[in-house]
Structure 1
Amino acid sequence: MSFNSGFRRGGRGGFARARPFSSAKQSMKPDTQKHPLGPLLHTFLQKDIGNFSPDDLSATNIANCELVASYNWLDEKSPTILVPGKPPRWTPLASPQRLPQDSGPYFRDPNAARFPSYPMEPVIQSTFAEDPDFAASDVDIFACGSTLGNLLRFVRGIEKPFRFNVEVIGSTVFLVRKEDDPRETIPDVRGFGHTFPEAYTTWEEDVKKSETHQRVVQYDLGGYRFLIRFECDGYLGPSVGSRSTANRASVPLTVDDDFLQAFDANSLGMVPAGPADRLNVRRGGFKVDQQSAFDLKTRSGKWGRDIDMQDIYPLLWLKQIPNFIIAYHDGNGLFQDIRVQDVKDDVRVWEADNQDSIRRLVGLLEKIVDIAKKDKSCLLDIYSPSIDRLEIRKQYGEGSHALPQLLRWKWEGATDDTVDSIDDGEKSETNKTHSDVTATKSGGGVYLAYDSDDEKDMNYTACSDVCGYCGRCMY
């Protein structure tokens, strides 16, 4: 299987539309033979979870949500993201056409499949690219739709075994998704969860060759500040009737004059292909407002039953996505019932009706944060083999870090001068997957990698935000 076979060229990205909060078809346990468990620190049973409650009982509603960053994975030979990128735009067909069923493998986690050495690195790179002075010290918990969704299922008593890593970096507890294999695929994919969005959404010209769009939102919940990463299915653009409002318009990203003088128009954004353990970061796309984002599901309509939105609202709540598209087909790929819905109010109702579950979620997170920050290794493993048991363990062996050392230092608040002063031998020893690096800020807070002492004396004054001028942007 070639690498790109797990993704659809010009399509919707690398994993299937699995029902995120359904217990059916997703009961396979993580493989503890392939990835052994470390020493057990603490066990929580369902009966314990019922007694969990956050210290601040009034803070169980999501507040102060804002989009922090976004990026697209590009279909390139070497790992490449486009910042801020842009989701595919909703472009419905003028008349229904019968679509083929999904076929071929799809990756569960496009971030791990594209960049297995550090799947969390792209989201941190895009965050600092958008805001070089981002206040990382204000973030209490970093998670993704998968890890936080697993915990929410558990406190709600919904069956789905799961496992993920935990690492404390600075003042932030990272909840890091963990599959049995970074390139693990969804087995027995059926239906039209890929062919429908391929037909009804469009990667626009400025984000061509995109495979998936990832977004990062920040919000407050239960006394904690969260950063949440998730895939976005698309956005409602200006062509969508009444939704064509000024506050939903995209904001173009500009390129500075120095950079335009350094390159002709045809070279903008191009970065030479590099090693698979280096992340290329390009500037391109539009920052699309969160109010335009949508999630999308397809279902068979031949039985006359509507989708159970109680399976959907929790995920929309975690991701704070206000729009939902449900498309029903006749069983053979003809979609004649497509509903574009503003579900903000419905998600708020779900939040109000599920305060007990949200309190238990925040209470469980308080326990995890407390145990993680007291552990000297800062590397833990969360494992839930069944609906009634959740274990906190040390990671097996040496464990694995969420970020390369230099980026961990950056998140912890190290200045450029501090990183420059670190002995080169220490940098090499603690950042083995990358070349020896001297960290210097280049406009957008980019770190440039040098392979030799001679390169350190070169003049990079023409560099711009994540411009790729030297072909060695990695941080």
Structure 2
Amino acid sequence: MANSRFISGIGPTPFEPDTPRTLLDGTIGAPAATIAVPTESDRALAAINKQDLHPSALQTISSYNWVYGPGKRLKIIVPGYPSCWNPPQLPIKLPPDTGFRMIHQNEYFSPGTPLRPLLRAVYTHRPDYDIRGVDVVTDRSSLLKLFKFVRGEVKPPPAPTTPTHTGRGGGGYRGRGGLPTPPGSPASRGRGAGLGYRGGGGRGGRTQHQPFNMDPPKEARIDVDIMGGGGGTRASMLLSRWETNSSEVIPEGQFRGWGFQFLNRFTRFGDAGEEAVMDEGELQSHHRVVEYEMGGMRFLVRYHGDAITQSLAEFRFWAERERERGERARRRERRAAAAAAQAAGGGVGERDRRGSEEREKEVKGKGKGEGEAARRKSASPQEKADDWLEKEFIEGLSKLTLGRVKTTVAIEAHKSLTPLYPHESIVGIKTCSDNSAPSMMLRAIPQVFFSQTPHLFIGYQRGGSFERVEKIETAALLREWEDENEVVLKRYLVLLARIRTVVERMEGRRATLVFTSGKESEGVKVYRRREDTQGPVPSDLVAKWDA
């Protein structure tokens, strides 16, 4: 199984850039409503308790990867495979990002319906998941866009002037949680000192530095759909990320930083021994789906997991161990079911018992393809239900095609043998120079917050030469950021609730939000969306809100 992110320097890409869209594609006429951004004096803010601003009851619901195989064959693997931390010897010189890159992979592979893979992944891994109590289903990106809009422009404090330490071996410095930090590094000057992570802006006097690679003010769009709400259940608001382009080609000479090159050089996908099952496909980005409660609302959020703290060897050891545990548990379930049937007069005789044992040996001893067929013959009712769901999943996804890509590509799904990897080891990865660190942290911490990513690794470079990696445990950092942004978070949550109320009252309960960064005084414009545009929910999953 190949390991590629399809950027310059890795190899030829089989993909082509998609056709740009216009901001109001699929909308009808003038705005149907405008929602003002709540101010600090808004009375609704008082109804939100400070302790409720911290995401609680966090759990990972599912994960998946896109896989691109021979013959332009697409599939989704559920649960997915995370990238492993695999740093080279430092310092290392990397070229800047150029060539093809994905902006919104789920839109590129599932045009017009970017939330469909999220929902498919959830119900493939958790067929019994009850979505009726979920208030918001969304990408992390949509939450971030609205939050930055509410927060308004914030300038970072000045960059630190103290010389920083350089090192070899992939860094290894921890900036939080009492772990060692190098002398003179930003982390060694106290939690977040000089990094500007709080978002309060301008602390520390002197010259304000422009944010690193900060986009100029621009209009943003989010599509909104309301599902369910009947029979006394709460309706769910689905926020679909929207981008003018879901991919782009970075031309030579146009500087965009080193982020993608860094990811390719410092991380590697862990295949966990499933190369044969993967058909030698190109394993793509790892997407994760978490659920948490915040501000009295329940969120289901998809985000991109950059890596895990474990190495390739550690991941493979974990995957093999967990698969063996799972197989032992399934054998116990089959034996218990057979014993229960025999006790109830089900007629499970000695021949059936021997046959069951022989089938178990066959599953263990044969190749993966034959073993899987044998497993299905002796499968428990739950396993048979899972196999049926996988079939439904494949049939549902096979109807999707890449209308925005020149070649039409069918999509299928594969149920991974590897269990869902735990949230505690997930890493967010950023790159910056010492001077751009405050701006980078100002943008990174809200991103980490909305996925509750427990680790943040920062690669520091000078002219593309990466000299050290700072490793941060984010729990304490996020708590302090929450305190600093208490009012902004309350205003943000009130705005989300009001968007939901407005769209729920509109005909068809679907709309498009348009807002402009840096112009929060203009509010959020709400447009009606045409009925002939695709919805975010596969037809066979619509009933999940009515069950």
Normalised by the size of structure 2, how large is the TM-score?
Answer: 0.63
d(CA) in 1 for partners of 2:319 and 2:529? 44
Contact 1:192 1:298 in 2 (8 A): yes
CA distance in 1, matches of 2:25, 2:312: 49
CA 1:142–1:9: 2 relative to 1, 3 Å: farther
Where does residue 415 of structure 2 map in the other structure? 283
Mark the runs of 5 or more structure 1 residues left unpaired by the alignment: 15-28, 415-475
Change (3 A) 1:220 1:240: farther
Alignment of 1:382-421 (within 5 A): 382-386=513-517, 387-388=519-520, 389=522, 390-396=524-530, 398-409=532-543, 411-414=544-547
Aligned-partner Cα distance in 2 for 1:101–1:304:
16
Match of 1:40 among 28, 31, 36: 31
State the SS of the aligned residue for 1:199.
Answer: helix
The answer (yes or no) to whether the contact 2:79–2:415 under 8 Å persists in 1 is yes
* C-alpha distance in 2 between matches for 1:148 and 1:250: 36
1:151 to 146, 154, 169: 146
Tell which structure's C-alpha radius of gyration is larger.
2
* Structure 1 counterpart of 2:213: none
Deviations 1:381-422 (A, max 9, x none): 11113522211121146333112222222x3244xxxxxxxx
Aligned match of 1:350: 481
Is this contact kept in 1: 2:4–2:283, CA < 8 A?
no
In the TM superposition, what is the alpha-carbon distance from 1:78 to its structure 2 partner? 3.1
SS in 2 for 1:81: strand
What is the Cα deviation at residue 345 of structure 1? 0.5
TM-score by length of 1: 0.72
Question: What corresponds to 1:232 in structure 2?
Answer: 305
Counterpart Cα distance in 1 of 2:546 and 2:249: 37
- Shift in Å at residue 74 of structure 1? 1.0
How much does 1:222 deviate? 1.1
Within-5 A mapping of 1:335-346 = 335-346=466-477
Q: Secondary structure at the match of 2:508?
A: coil
- Aligned-pair CA distance for 1:355: 0.7
Matched, 1:166 2:166: no
Does residue 1:298 correspond to 2:428, yes or no? no
Tell me how far 1:161 sits from its aligned partner.
2.3
Cα-Cα RMSD: 3.8
The question of whether the paired residues in 2 share the 8 Å contact of 1:252 and 1:287 is answered with no
Distance 1:240 1:373, change over 3 A: same
Question: Aligned letter for 2:6?
Answer: F
The corresponding residue for 2:267 is 201
2:35, 2:499 within 8 Å by CA — same for their partners in 1? no
Give the gaps of 5 or more residues in structure 2: 14-19, 154-216, 229-234, 276-281, 332-358, 374-389, 402-409
Partner of 2:44: 53
Q: Are the counterparts in 2 of residues 8 and 211 from structure 1 also a CA contact under 8 Å? A: no
Give aligned pairs, total: 390
User: Deviations along 1:315-374, whole A, 9 cap, x unmatched?
Assistant: 11111001101101220x321121111121101110111110110011001101111222
Contact 1:161–1:384 (8 Å) recurs in 2: yes
Q: Kindly tell me: are residues 55 and 184 of structure 1, through their superposed partners in 2, closer, same or farther at Cα, counting changes over 3 Å? A: farther
Whole-angstrom distance in 1 between the partners of 2:114 and 2:436? 41
SS of structure 1 residue aligned to 2:93:
coil
Would the alpha carbon gap of residues 141 and 36 (structure 1) be closer, same or farther in structure 2, given more than 3 Å must change? closer
Letter paired with 1:212: S
8 Å contact kept, 1:34–1:180:
no
- In structure 2, the CA distance between the partners of 1:274 and 1:189, relative to structure 1 (3 Å rule), is farther
Secondary structure of 1:394's aligned partner: strand
Distance in structure 2 (CA, Å) of the matches to 1:349 and 1:134: 33
Q: Between Structure 1 and Structure 2, which shows a larger proportion of helix residues? A: 2
Compared with structure 1, are the counterparts of its residues 74 and 30 closer, same or farther at alpha carbon in structure 2 (3 Å cutoff)?
closer
Residues 211-248 of structure 1 show CA distances to partners (whole Å, capped at 9, x for unaligned) of: 1000111011111100011111001016899xx9x999
Greater relative contact order structure (CA < 8 Å, 6+ sep): 2
Cα deviation, residue 35, structure 1: 5.1
Query: Structure 1 vs Structure 2: percent identity of aligned residues?
Result: 23
**What secondary structure sits across from 2:44 in the alignment?**
coil
Worse-superposed segment, 112-121 or 255-264: 255-264
The partner residue of 1:124 within 119, 128, 140 is: 119
Give 1:62's aligned residue: 55
User: In the alignment, what sits opposite 2:256?
Assistant: 190
Mapped partners of 2:259, 2:269: distance in 1: 17
Tell me, what secondary structure is at the counterpart of 2:47? coil
Once the two structures are superposed, residues 66-124 of structure 1 have per-residue CA deviations (whole angstroms, 9 ceiling, x without a partner) of: 11111111123233111111210001113433222222021210001112152211111
Residue 78 of structure 2 corresponds to residue 83 of structure 1? yes
